[in-house]
Amino acid sequence: LMRVPQRILLTILIGNLFGNLAVSALSTSLLLSVWEDYGHLISIVLVTPLIIIFCEIVPKTLAMGSYRSASKLVLPPLLFFHRLFLPARYLLMLFTDAMIRFFRLNLTHGKITEDELGRAVVIGEEQGVIRREEGEFIKNVLRFSRKDGYSVMFPRNSAVFLPWGCSVTEAIRLFLEHKVIRIPVYRNDLDHVVGVVDSRELIPYRLGYRQARNINPLIREINFFPASRELHDLLNDFLSAGIQIAILVDEYGGTAGVITLNKILSELMGRDMTRWDDNVRHEVRKHGDGSWIVSGGMHIDDFNTTFGEGIESAESETLGGYIIEKLSYIPKRGEELQIARHLLRIRLVRKNRIESIEVINRQGAGEAKK
């Protein structure tokens, strides 16, 4: 019905007109049969206010107060009359279009402005039609549409960068100090960014599984975008390319700053989403006896990268889920599962979930032990 609003509007107007005329004609005829001399006067004085109150004001007020249930109630008869009035509606539309062309009227369909939408949201919140959280989200979206990369980026003088040839030890120190997930790498100066290093790549080096003189083999490609690009376009760029971080450049091609997907989403959602990690959110720490303590929520891919394993699962994404899948039950503290190069020992189970696992470097067959 709403694909062409003009048609449904004409249906409502025609039905409203016929209804009011029918009530007025019937009431006048009835009053004239009782009071022949004063029937018309009584009809004007008495019936007209009743039509305004009970046919106009009351129905519209009730519908505004409960528009969802009202729309479901009136939809079937509205659809019936929409089809019934098709010939009359067609003739009226032809006449209206002819009048518009005759008087050379230039009618444009205006679009609602951001200010109007903002005021509508405020009114909706006051009337209880829109919840406060929904209203705040809509306002954030409106503000989001007016922002560009300059307004939300980390400026180059406050962002963290790694120099080309930086040692792995120094890189790990900077990651821990600044609590970031990825750090861009520059060569010679900040206007020549050559890539980015992900903190996940450094975990095996921190645990002593691998050795490297510098971070150069770990550098991955990074994308560049104009800092003046609007934020909604940047969000589309990030999602299309499947990236988490990018460099914003100024009009001269120099590095203006760094922007991340979390920063963009924080602006859209209206709350801080720039946590320490979206991917490496589970701590890996070395135990005194040479084993390692990891979270049961550690992603299987991160575990494989860190410990040089190759476990796979079509059902589970986390290490804890993988253990439960292999054992076919929820293990208790102290139970073990041997994989290719390591023994996995359960340290903590809470609410049917494996919270902590001890990883012991040991060769053996893949069997579960108690």
pLDDT digits (tens, 9 = 90+) for 350-364: 878 898 999 998 754
What is the per-residue pLDDT for 365? 38
Tokens of 57: 């004001």
Beta bridge partners of 336: 345, 369
Q: How far is CA 205 from the centre of its chain?
A: 36
User: Taking the model in full, what pTM does it have?
Assistant: 0.49
Same domain, 191 and 257: yes
Query: What does the angle CA 40 – CA 46 – CA 47 come to, to the nearest 5 degrees?
Result: 80
Judgement on whether residues 181 and 225 belong to the same structural domain of the protein: yes
Query: Which CATH number is 322's domain given?
Result: 3.30.465.10
Look up the CATH number of the domain holding residue 168. 3.10.580.10
Per residue in 14-62, pLDDT (tens digit) is 888 888 888 888 888 888 887 777 777 877 788 778 888 887 888 878 7
Residues 6+ apart with CB under 8 A from 204: 210, 305, 306, 307, 308
Q: Give pLDDT, residue 193.
A: 96
Which is it for strands 182-187 and 189-198: parallel, antiparallel or unpaired? Answer: antiparallel
For residue 187, which of 166, 213, 206, 208 has the smallest C-alpha distance?
Answer: 166
What single string gives the DSSP state of each residue in 273-331?
Answer: ---S-SS--S-EEE-TTS-EEEETT-BHHHHHHHHT-----SS-SBHHHHHHHHHTS--
Give the residue from 269, 294, 276, 1 showing the smallest Cα distance to 136: 269
370 residues of the chain, pLDDT tens digit each = 566 677 788 888 888 888 888 888 888 888 888 777 777 787 778 877 888 888 788 887 877 777 677 778 888 888 888 888 888 888 888 888 888 788 776 655 555 666 777 777 778 777 777 777 777 777 778 778 888 998 889 888 888 999 999 999 999 988 888 888 899 999 999 999 999 999 888 888 887 777 888 999 999 999 999 999 999 899 999 999 999 999 999 988 899 999 999 889 888 877 655 443 343 344 677 777 778 899 888 888 888 888 888 898 878 888 999 999 999 899 999 999 999 889 999 999 987 889 899 999 875 433 334 3
Q: For residue 45, what pLDDT is reported?
A: 80
DSSP for 119-153, written as a single string: HHHHHHHHHTSS-HHHHHHHHHHHHHTT-BHHHHS
For position 279, what pLDDT does the model report?
Answer: 36
Domain count, the chain: 4
Report how far residue 302's alpha carbon sits from residue 348's, in angstroms, rounded to the nearest whole number. Answer: 20
> What span, in angstroms and rounded, lies between the C-alpha atoms of 80 and 90?
16
Residue at 95 is within a domain: yes
At which of 234, 269, 304 does a domain end? 269
Spatial separation of the C-alpha atoms in residues 301 and 311, rounded to whole Å: 8
Same domain, 191 and 256: yes
- Judgement on whether residues 192 and 80 belong to the same structural domain of the protein: no
- Asked if residue 263 and residue 153 are part of one domain, the reply reads yes
The strands making up 245-249's β-sheet, listed across from edge to edge, are 154-155, 255-260, 245-249, 223-226
Q: Do residue 91 and residue 160 come from a single domain?
A: no
Same domain (yes/no): 203, 243: yes
Paired with 346 in beta bridges are 357
Residues 235 and 290 in one domain: no
Q: Residue 244 sits in which domain range?
A: 149-269
- Helix pair angle (86-102, 5-34), 10° resolution: 110
Query: Hey, which bits of the chain come out as E strands?
Result: 154-155, 162-163, 182-187, 189-198, 223-226, 245-249, 255-260, 284-286, 292-295, 336-338, 342-350, 353-361, 368-369
| Residue 265, pLDDT score | 87
Q: What is the pLDDT of residue 327?
A: 92
Instruction: Kindly state whether residue 277 falls inside one of the protein's structural domains.
Output: no
Identify whether the C-beta of residue 307 lies closer than 8 Å to the C-beta of residue 343. Answer: no
Beta bridge partners of 349: 354
Distant-in-sequence, close-in-space partners of 45: CB < 8 Å, separation ≥ 6: none
Residues 166 and 122 in one domain: no
Regarding whether 75 and 122 lie in a shared domain, the answer is no
d(CA 203, CA 198): 10
Q: What is residue 277's predicted lDDT score, i.e. its pLDDT?
A: 38
Q: At a CB cut-off of 8 Å and minimum separation 6, what does 158 contact?
A: none
Residue 274 is assigned to a structural domain of this protein: no
Q: Are residues 164 and 128 in the same domain?
A: no
Is 250 a member of any domain? Answer: yes
Are both 194 and 229 inside the same structural domain? yes
Q: Is 203 within 8 Å of 295 (Cβ atoms)?
A: no
